[in-house]
Amino acid sequence: MRMRLPGITVAVALVLAACGSATSGGTSTSSSSYQGKTINLGAILSLTGAGGVYGPSSRKGMDLAVEKINNSGGVNGAKLALDTEDDASDKAQSAQVAQRLIQQGQLLALLGPTLSNSAVAVHPLAESFKIPILAVSTTGIHIVPDCNYPKTDPCKYVFRDSLGEEAAIPANIKVYSQKAHPKTGVLLVANDDKFSSDGGKIVQGAVGQYGIQLLDTVQFSKTTADFAPPVTRAVQKNPDVIFITSLGGIPAKIMIEARKQGFTGQFLGGNGFNTAVVSKQAGAAGKGAQSGSGWYINNTFPSNAAFVKAYRDKYGSDPDQFAAQGYAGILILADSAKRANLTFTDTAGDRTRLRDAMEKVNIDTPLGRFQFTSTHDVKQTIWIIQMDGAGGFTLVTSVSPS
């Protein structure tokens, strides 16, 4: 065995050299012909685990967009291919999946991950490998542009099309306060998940200016089995409002338990509320629960009605915010790829060209006319929505971007 090693090394070196020259040859003859090529994208989503109430929606939205684009001629003739992987809502697994996707493939860009908690691990990875990553559902603090927080220098390759909680939660509290003038509130917050604890901080920072006194902040773990004890503590304070910043099935469980224990006030929350699964789970107990959303099903933006119809035709159910953001994510990447003059031979160069093109995106999506801000974030209408008690949402009002 030992004798054969040098031979193998030489062979590998030769192959590498051959590849190297082939690559450089390809670059020099770069043409803008996309015809017959494939644009490979990867998505890291939480299809199982706590985020399993959101990831599948994002996936459906993305698959729909890929299908639509490929059926109408692709991207300048190139086909889109999407490889979706499950991170089981686990931060470490999310990072592993990202690493594998980045290193194994000829992927041009990534989408995801579903949860802010995982984004903290995945986004810096994408940044260091210089591959564009578009978050389609992460709403926590320090997602863009400072993905390497506490380092503040902006990440160049990280973008998001999802409305941040820093905009959505205060807008929601403002709308409710102006209508109902609540005096007191209790915050129920999961403190071992970034999305949830970020939401909690935003609530704590926002209530004061609307004259709401926070009587108590009840923290719990996202793995809590029985929500009776935390809810008992909150309900016994007799607040006008219970704020819930948590994800997965937890908001629904809290609402059900609180109604059982006789709470008659208002539930206010965040992005964790905004999927049909949570609304359905909460059922009658969730009726009226109000949150700020990046999308609303009956919005009148030009491309929204077509999206909703195509989604219903394909899946036989209504899309939710996560589906719309996933769908928009693919549109954004496809439009950027169209303008990026890709070579399809120099992957690293193509990734950077795609990134540059993403900064200039300006297209119609179900989320509205879409452009990234200078910090790669969204600036869009905030839809204040309420659960309808039957698995859907109704519109309270919309807030224009400030």
Partner 1 sequence: MTQQLLNAIFIGSIYALFAVGYTLVFGVLDVLNLAHSAVFMLGAVITYSLVALHGVPFIFAALVAVLVCGLLGLVIEFVALRPLRRRNAPPISALISTIGLALIFVAIVEQATPGTLFSWLWQDGANSVRFPTGAVPNPTYHVAGLTLEGTKLGILATSVVLMLVLGYVIRFTQVGRALRAVAENRRAATLLGIDVDRIFASTLFLSSALGGLAGLLFGLALSDISPYIGRDQVELKGLAVIVLGGMGSIPGAVVGGYLLGLIEVLAFVRFGSNVEAGVAFAALFLMLVLRPQGLFGARLKERL
Residues that bind partner 1 (CB under 8 A): 47-49, 52-53, 56, 191-192, 218-221, 223-230, 232-233, 236, 248-249, 252-253, 256-257, 260-262, 277, 281, 283-284
Q: Whose Cβ is closer to partner 1: residue 154's or residue 288's?
A: 288
Q: Whose Cβ is closer to partner 1: residue 50's or residue 331's?
A: 50
Alpha carbon distance 122, 45 (integer Å): 11
Q: Whose Cβ is closer to partner 1: residue 109's or residue 231's?
A: 231
Provide the minimum distance between the beta carbon of 49 and partner 1 in the complex, in angstroms, as a whole number: 6
Provide the minimum distance between the beta carbon of 223 and partner 1 in the complex, in angstroms, as a whole number: 6
Q: Whose Cβ is closer to partner 1: residue 184's or residue 219's?
A: 219
Q: Whose Cβ is closer to partner 1: residue 220's or residue 383's?
A: 220
Contact at 8 Å (CB) between 132 and 351? Answer: yes
- The dihedral region occupied by 171, where left means phi > 0, alpha psi between -120 and 50, and beta the remainder, is alpha
Q: Whose Cβ is closer to partner 1: residue 260's or residue 369's?
A: 260
Which residue intervals of 190-249 are DSSP H helices?
194-207, 228-235
What is the Cβ-side half-sphere exposure of residue 281, based on CA atoms within 13 angstroms?
18
Q: Whose Cβ is closer to partner 1: residue 194's or residue 253's?
A: 253
Provide the minimum distance between the beta carbon of 222 and partner 1 in the complex, in angstroms, as a whole number: 9
Alpha carbon distance 312, 320 (integer Å): 11
Alpha carbon distance 256, 261 (integer Å): 9
Provide the minimum distance between the beta carbon of 232 and partner 1 in the complex, in angstroms, as a whole number: 5
What tokens were used for 342? 């890709």
Q: Whose Cβ is closer to partner 1: residue 7's or residue 262's?
A: 262
Widest CA span of the chain, in angstroms? 83
Provide the minimum distance between the beta carbon of 297 and partner 1 in the complex, in angstroms, as a whole number: 20
What tokens were used for 160? 């998001």
Provide the minimum distance between the beta carbon of 277 and partner 1 in the complex, in angstroms, as a whole number: 6
For 330, phi then psi, to 5°, come to -65, -40
E-strand ranges in 203-357 read: 213-220, 241-245, 266-269, 290-293
Query: b/e map of 116-142 (b: 16 or more CB within 10 Å)?
Result: bbbbbbbbbbbbebebbbbbbbbbbbb
Q: Around Cβ 235, how many Cβ atoms within 10 Å? A: 20
Provide the minimum distance between the beta carbon of 253 and partner 1 in the complex, in angstroms, as a whole number: 6
Provide the minimum distance between the beta carbon of 327 and partner 1 in the complex, in angstroms, as a whole number: 20
Q: Whose Cβ is closer to partner 1: residue 261's or residue 397's?
A: 261
What tokens were used for 293? 């959303």
The distance from CA 314 to its chain's CA centroid, rounded to whole angstroms, is 22
Provide the minimum distance between the beta carbon of 53 and partner 1 in the complex, in angstroms, as a whole number: 6
For β-strands 363-365 and 368-370, DSSP reports them as: antiparallel
